[in-house]
Chains A and B, each alone.
Chain A
Amino acid sequence: MSFAIGLIAVAVFALLAPTLQITARARAWPLGPVTLLAIAALVSHGLGVALGIVALPQFRYWDAASIFAFCVMAYVFAFGAVYKSVSLEILLGLIDRPGRAAPLSEITERQVPGLFQGRIGILVDRGLVERANSGFVATAAGRNLAGRVGRLRYAFGIGHTSLYDFSD
């Protein structure tokens, strides 16, 4: 029965998370999508635990928490895959075109540079990068984040290109 409590909490999360995303966009809340997901997870988990304590005398926390955590993480995984994937944006761009086809040159010369500009915009909006004359430079916050990322990449033996290694 504790698993069922966990699933009820998953249902609450599945309703709460998109509601928060839509409300945040409509009301221009200064909270990022990931923060909203974390809030939805904490609230729904808290409600699930409270329900378990009230409804089940033998409530087993880890049974409920395991199924809740797995389903929420699968949701976050799917969310992350569709949120800012370059490959997926190229695919969706193709689907939305009349005739569902495009010259390769158009993707290379127009769509990808557009995505590039979009990501620069995100970095500027988040205060990690600022404009300097005709170019861009990292802010102190941007340099700090880049430093932490560099150290983590070094520790995990990850390269600096972000290209997929197909020989892998």
Chain B
Amino acid sequence: MNMLPGPAQAAAIGLSIALPLLLLCYARITATGGSGRRFRLGCISVVVLYAIACIALPGQRQLDDVLSGLLLLGTAMMFCYVLFSLLAWGFTLTLLTALVQAERPLTPEQWAEAYMQGGDLGTFTHNRLKLLVGAGMVITADGRLAPTAKGVAVAHLAKLVRLSTGLG
């Protein structure tokens, strides 16, 4: 068994470790924009650095080494995204932090208000619906919501994923 990574694989492992550090650095630069943009910028940066490493590293490149490195980099990006999105857009986690920040017992109504920082659940609903409408999955007309053909397809796909992953 060969446990040693190839040159491109080693570069990808290094860049995978560097990705969260890069995101930490980008967070200190205002010009990098919001959370989503910063994350995309971090991913583009490591892909570019990987391409440079593949060209600059001495010796001949093996296709399986380069492909494997790309897979490792893709894994790191997905892993970081799962954690990053949980921090940035996690509903349950933000409910908890809102309750802790209130520093007193809250009724569900007060909690919803604290969660929305003065807004209400209607604002939250509109924010999430904006995502569905923007992605072309739902349309609104006369105060009613209806899924588009794309929305129906995504919903069926989601049901299939739930079923095949054992979520029911």
Contacts and interface: CB of A to CB of B under 8 A. Distances in A.
Chain B associates with chain A: yes
Interface of A: 3, 17-22, 25, 33, 52-53, 58-63, 66-67, 69-70, 73-84, 86-88, 90-92, 94-95, 100-105, 107-108, 112-113, 115-117, 119-120, 122-123, 128-129, 132-138, 142-143, 145-147, 149-150, 152-153, 155-168
A101 B152 CA distance: 12
Overall SS of chain A's interface: helix
B1 A52 contact: yes
B166 interface: yes
A63 B84 CA distance: 27
Interface string B59-90: 00000100011011011001101101001111
Contacts of A78: 161, 165
A23 B165 CA distance: 12
Contacts of B28: 157
A150 B2 CA distance: 42
B71 A66 contact: yes
Lowest 6 A-B CB distances belong to which pairs?
Answer: A21-B166, A18-B166, A157-B27, A162-B94, A135-B105, A146-B100
Contact of B146 (A60, A94, A116, A149): A94
A52 B1 CA distance: 8
B167 A79 contact: yes
B93 interface: yes
Given A58-B2, A63-B64, A138-B96, A79 B105 contact: no
A161 B93 CA distance: 10
Contacts of B100: 138, 142-143, 146-147
A37 to B, nearest CB: 9
Given A63-B68, A165-B34, A17 B108 contact: no
23 contacts: A19-B166, A61-B2, A62-B5, A67-B68, A70-B74, A77-B81, A77-B82, A78-B161, A86-B91, A87-B132, A91-B137, A95-B155, A108-B125, A113-B112, A120-B108, A123-B96, A134-B107, A138-B96, A156-B24, A158-B35, A160-B98, A162-B88, A166-B130
A66 B69 contact: yes
A108 B166 CA distance: 29
Contacts of A75: 165
A105 B121 contact: no
A164 B89 contact: yes
Contacts of A116: 95, 108, 112, 121
A59 B132 contact: no
B165 A91 contact: no
Given A95-B155, A107-B145, A120-B95, A149 B75 contact: no
Contacts of B116: 161
